[in-house]
Structure 1
Amino acid sequence: MGGVAATAALAIALTLVGASGAQALPSGAASQGQNGQGQNGQGQGGHGQNGQLAPRTQFTMAPDGSSGATQGGDGIPNIDSVKKTIATYYGDPGTGIANTQSSPYISEMTRIVARATSQLRHTYDKAVAKGEKPAIVFDADDTTLWTYDMEVGDMHFNYNPAEQDVWVQGERFPAVPGMVAFVNQAAAMGYTVFGLTGRADNQKAATLGNLAKVGYTAFTSDDYFTKWTGQGASQQPSYITCATTSCTTVEYKALTRKHIEQDLGYTITLSVGDQWSDLQGGYADSILKLPNPTYYLPSPDLPGLSEPKLAPRTHFTMKPDGSSGATEPGDGIPNIDSVKKTIATYYGDPGTGISNKTASPYITEMRRIVGQQIPSVTQRCRLEAEQHRNPAIVLDADDTTLWTYDMEVGDMHFNYNPAEQDVWVQGEKFPAVPGMVALEEAAKKAGCTVIGLTGRNDNQKAATLGNLANVGYTGFTAANYYTKWTGVGTSQQPSYIHCAAASCTTIEYKSQTRAHVESAAGGRYDIVANFGDQFSDLIGGHADRTIKLPNPTYYLP
């Protein structure tokens, strides 16, 4: 094919495969460069300025993780964005320590407590007028005692029961904002105050000590219920009968409330908790759900009882930068435990932190994306090769060609550790991203040069190339594989990269490297397609098309 016919065919191909226009491209969608390729071979188009290359902000997520089978990777709330949103909500500057003076969480708790306080007198008088003994039941963690600094600053969202016991026995928890005044005022008004927590009997004394230390005056040992350990005298009470040998949270808490009402003679006018499982099961005239996106403790309804309204929400608005933590209520933030379960479902992880390498929603989605992209990419490679336009594709490394899930989740538990990452890199331990070996091979055979562009550093280049070769990639070469400088020895910032500050952003590094690749000094390639799992892999132009691959396990803006 030559001359006008080839040019016309190429123009048709560009139109067909360069669809764009949505605010956030779904995984696998191709976005066409705004200005295409100049006569000098430099792509001048850029995305991101018009908001196209940006994560989505609306999500549907069931609390049990099942949405990982239906929503697609970019339809799952990205866990790094969830962490940032939670931090904003609690006024955490990034240290894992909540602001105890001012935050969106404190503001929301102030409003909740004010509304509840305004109803205390009327509810009390109404109960007394009927000859009842009014009582209020309070959970402990994140209802009366605030666990954020432990959950985030110490445990980094990975619960450790031994470490939790250190905090409990040390009586280290501050009070939940506003709750000391609320509990004490209720007691002064005449309510009997009960505590009902999933903490164990051997933590009861320390819990009561912690409550007293932070200002609660109404809790007593006789009216504070902790859970049995099954050791010594700490045995399951006779008033609790469960469907199996292990009681659910709802069975334990609902039947304890039943005991308070039917055996002790109180009327529970209000049950307060931060988990829906604190409140399910009845035996309370009303309930008060407090916000808590930092963990989720589900429990089935009592047998024969259905309470569909006592369940987490399933629709969320979340910006990727964490700013939604200042505008959304606590229960409007995707709960991080539900996000983890959703991600696990998506990758076919049974709970071990190891992805299923044979079948999963992720593999299905990647096969669909690759199946859609191979025909269009190879067509463009072939057409441009026939026109001697030196076509190339650019591929990122992590979660574009090499699959990091087992490291990110099984090893690091969603808490990135650069030293441990280097162990994985130097050990060449990563499998291939599903389908991408076939795509790379097809593009190479169709006439495209394969170019790698990664945020991994120069010290990791040889191992990365070795890993790629080990899992079946054949097109990568050292000459066309770009890693980032370390600033040590000969590994210095290239002359073709100029950044606004001393430390270059990912977009500055990657977009200017693509510009170099399309320049005479870099080989005068025409980048017909740029593949990446992060939008920062794609923003900045210098590619005819961008293809976003799914990755909810981290976010690199």
Structure 2
Amino acid sequence: MRSTRRTRTTRTAVVSVALAAATLTLLPAGAASAAPVVPAPVASAGTASAPGGNAKILGIDYATWQGDVATAVDAARPAIEQRIAGARPGEKQAIVLDIDNTSLETDFHWFWTQPTPAIAKVRDLTRYANDRGVAIFFVTARPGIIYSLTEWNLKAVGYPVSGLYVRDLPDLFGEVSAYKTGKRAEIEARGYSIIANIGNKESDLVGGHAERTVKLPDYGGKLS
């Protein structure tokens, strides 16, 4: 059963990436900030009241997931706020985030939903931090071919974006955890203190180069 679920998840991800790439190709020059024109069989597919997608296929309850995300973010937020308030003179602080099911509700909406909705609790934390001078970086395992569409999606749903790291071709053949650790090290090398690293999978969080990690639910790897 677990193998079947992995196959189904992989196929869904492949279809999603293919559609995203096709959508990006259809965008006119200079239109990265405009909404991609894609068919939407369900008029309200992007609303919180009508989630679907891979999570629905796997039987993951949307309300339960939202509650589990809120529990994790609410538990970590006071310490993050305290760290921001206690920034050293001249210190450049940063928060690093994964994207799928960490920043965006990827698996809870059908792949044609554009833009994919933000996870409100996480977005609110990034806005709070960014308003106080904290840089917000996204480090994702998504391939570089959908960089522009991913950046547009994040900004369209209200995220501040100080930087976005996607996997180039050589990165696709390595371990995701090693790739993400390396990118956090790059951010540190630019002079930033990474005060929090937020993700929903262990591969988002292992490897150090962050003062604090915040683990969101993935339900035993079911969520991408």
Both structures adopt the same fold (TM-score exceeding 0.5): yes
- Report the counterpart of residue 209 of structure 2 in structure 1: 542
- Report the counterpart of residue 59 of structure 2 in structure 1: 344
C-alpha displacement at 1:547, in angstroms? Answer: 0.7
Distance 1:467 1:545 in 2: 26
Larger Rg: 1
- Report the counterpart of residue 133 of structure 2 in structure 1: 447
Please identify which structure carries the higher helix content.
Answer: 2
Pairing 1:461–2:131 present: no
- Report the counterpart of residue 2 of structure 2 in structure 1: 83
| Structure 2 counterparts to residues 358-507 of structure 1, below 5 A | 360-384=63-87, 386-407=88-109, 411=110, 424=112, 428-473=114-159, 475-477=160-162, 480-486=163-169, 503-507=173-177
C-alpha displacement at 1:343, in angstroms? Answer: 5.9
Is the 2:101–2:223 Cα contact (8 Å) retained in structure 1? Answer: no
Task: Give the partner amino acid of 1:511.
Answer: T
| Structure 2 counterparts to residues 89-238 of structure 1, below 5 A | none
Distance 1:508 1:454 in 2: 12
Is the 2:72–2:214 Cα contact (8 Å) retained in structure 1? Answer: no
Distance 1:396 1:345, change over 3 A: closer
C-alpha displacement at 1:345, in angstroms? Answer: 5.7
Task: Give the partner amino acid of 2:77.
Answer: I
Is the 1:382–1:447 Cα contact (8 Å) retained in structure 2? Answer: no
Distance 1:439 1:537 in 2: 18
Distance 1:554 1:440 in 2: 25
C-alpha displacement at 1:507, in angstroms? Answer: 1.0
Q: What SS is found at the alignment partner of 1:430? A: coil
C-alpha displacement at 1:469, in angstroms? Answer: 1.5
1:76-97 C-alpha deviation (Å, 9 max, x unpaired)? xxxxxx514x89xxxxxx9x9x
Task: Give the partner amino acid of 2:180.
Answer: K
- Report the counterpart of residue 186 of structure 2 in structure 1: 516
Distance 1:365 1:486 in 2: 34
Is the 1:452–1:481 Cα contact (8 Å) retained in structure 2? Answer: yes
Distance 1:508 1:345 in 2: 29
Distance 2:223 2:155 in 1: 27
C-alpha displacement at 1:444, in angstroms? Answer: 1.2
1:240-266 C-alpha deviation (Å, 9 max, x unpaired)? xxxxxxxxxxxxxxxxxxxxxxxxxxx
Distance 2:69 2:204 in 1: 18
1:532-554 C-alpha deviation (Å, 9 max, x unpaired)? 01110011111111111012363
RMSD: 2.9
Q: Could you state the TM-score of these two structures normalised by the residue count of structure 2? A: 0.69
Is the 2:73–2:214 Cα contact (8 Å) retained in structure 1? Answer: no
* Unaligned residue ranges in structure 2 (runs of 5+): 9-54
Distance 1:547 1:405, change over 3 A: same
Task: Give the partner amino acid of 1:486.
Answer: L
* Unaligned residue ranges in structure 1 (runs of 5+): 1-81, 88-93, 97-151, 153-339, 348-359, 412-420, 488-492, 494-501
Is the 2:100–2:107 Cα contact (8 Å) retained in structure 1? Answer: no
Equivalent pairs counted in the alignment come to: 177
C-alpha displacement at 1:436, in angstroms? Answer: 1.1
Distance 1:506 1:345, change over 3 A: closer
Runs of 4+, deviation exceeding 4 Å? 340-343
C-alpha displacement at 1:505, in angstroms? Answer: 0.6
Task: Give the partner amino acid of 1:463.
Answer: L
- Report the counterpart of residue 24 of structure 2 in structure 1: none
Distance 1:555 1:468, change over 3 A: closer
- Report the counterpart of residue 222 of structure 2 in structure 1: 554
Distance 1:453 1:389 in 2: 21
Distance 1:538 1:383 in 2: 24
Distance 2:72 2:223 in 1: 20
Identity of aligned residues (%): 29
1:328-387 C-alpha deviation (Å, 9 max, x unpaired)? xxxxxxxxxxxx88963632xxxxxxxxxxxx1222222232222222112212312x43
Is the 1:379–1:446 Cα contact (8 Å) retained in structure 2? Answer: no
Task: Give the partner amino acid of 1:83.
Answer: R
Distance 2:57 2:152 in 1: 33
C-alpha displacement at 1:555, in angstroms? Answer: 5.9
1:111-162 C-alpha deviation (Å, 9 max, x unpaired)? xxxxxxxxxxxxxxxxxxxxxxxxxxxxxxxxxxxxxxxxx9xxxxxxxxxx
Distance 2:150 2:209 in 1: 24
